[in-house]
Amino acid sequence: MADFPEAPRIVVTGIGVIAASGMDTDSFFQSLLAGESGIDHVTAFDVSDLPSKIGAEVRDFDPGAFMDPKEVRRNDRYTQMALGATRQAVADAGLDMARVDADRCGVLVGSGIGGMWTIETQSRILFEKGPRKVSPFMIPSLIANIASGKIAIDLGARGPNFSVVSACATSTHALGESFRIMRTGDADVMIAGGSEAAMTRLGYAGFCAMKAMSTRNDDPRGASRPFEKNRDGFVMGEGAGIFVLETLEHARARGAKIYCELAGYAATCDAFHITQPDTEAVGLTVCLRNALRNAGLQPEEVDYINAHGTSTPFNDKCETLAIKNAFGEHAGKVMVNSTKSMTGHLLGAAGSVEAAICAKVIETGDVPPTINYEEPDPELDLDYVPNVKRRAAVKVAMSNNSGFGGHNASLILKAFE
């Protein structure tokens, strides 16, 4: 039999984040540690006739800082934020693309919904002004893979390039599939993550119609309360999270700073319901177990879990059950938080932004709280790091996400040794 080379180790060398809670990774993370919420009343469009009126808007984002005006007009907001976060991540990694083998540098950046701003504005133009006024850039602007293509053009990266779409698990899958690509030897560097900008009147109305969002309109910063007894739905957010992933050999050869190691990944499906999680948490339990197995770790080695934790009644209950199923006795000892209590739910970008939080937790030893945790739910009894940040030596972190369609994804990040 042929001898197969040992799979390379994959490390995180750069991170970029754009979110309502902060316009770069460090300010974003410090905001979370302070327990500051990025959720407020929606200002981007009229919500007067909608039941929910709150969200985590990115209000200070200026694509003109890194794109010329023509490119700004031709690209949807989700692509603009993806490119902005990529610029941050590449600078953070100190990655000189002139010194990188372009054929071995890939991009895998996803979006759960894609160009919702483009869909809404171009539909309005069609209905009000007719088909001749529809933009020739409409299709490339709205499709969910175009951010990945745009980033590759910007960087000159000719390696593997595509997009995944799995609703709110999208960017976790993007990081995980990039991990797989690199482990099989098909790339030395991957730019990976997700971006979402679906906070339009149409997108917002759609989620309102599903009765999925919080209507705690008189208390925006207190509206997202994952795992808490009085939770009443998620709060919609937007933003982007992008990673620079490298093989350890590639990172060492250029003397790169290393945040942590991406050590494990798994993906499963509930095969249960199009929007509701499996009440028995079978698929998610298997996902968590498989991620641990893929990383070669035991449950008791995990110090911290950044949960999907959407603040919806079903999700938080089912996720707690899955953690108990997968971690057994250790479930009550591991720290489990939901930073969505402050960031809102970034949909397809949630996973990569939350994986970025895991990397910063490993780096700093500071764990952000789950804010708005006032009245415990008697059915949910894990350590949710309530209300106040915690100092802890975190060697291994897990990040979990689930999406409509029953999609589950889990990542394991661990301190680099």
Residue of 105, 208, 250, 345 marked active site: 345
Residue 183 has which token pair? Answer: 């482990």
Calpha distance 228→2 (Å, rounded)? 54
Only one residue has tokens 């998610």, namely 284
Question: Is the Cβ–Cβ distance between 279 and 404 less than 8 Å?
Answer: no
The per-residue DSSP string of 92-160 comes to HHT--GGGS-GGGEEEEEE-SS--HHHHHHHHHHHHHH-GGGS-TTHHHHHSTTHHHHHHHHHHT--S-
The catalytic position among 208, 308, 318, 407 is 308
407 catalytically annotated = no
DSSP 22-48: BSSHHHHHHHHHTT----EE--SS--T
Contact 73, 127 (CB under 8 A): no
**Known catalytic residue at 273:** no
- Let me know: does 337 contact 307? Beta carbons within 8 Å: yes
Among 168, 269, 318, 358, the one annotated catalytic: 168
Cβ-count burial of 51 within 10 angstroms (0-12 exposed, 13-18 middle, 19+ buried)? Answer: middle
If DSSP codes are grouped into helix, strand and coil, which group holds residue 390? strand
The residues annotated as belonging to the active site are: 168, 308, 345
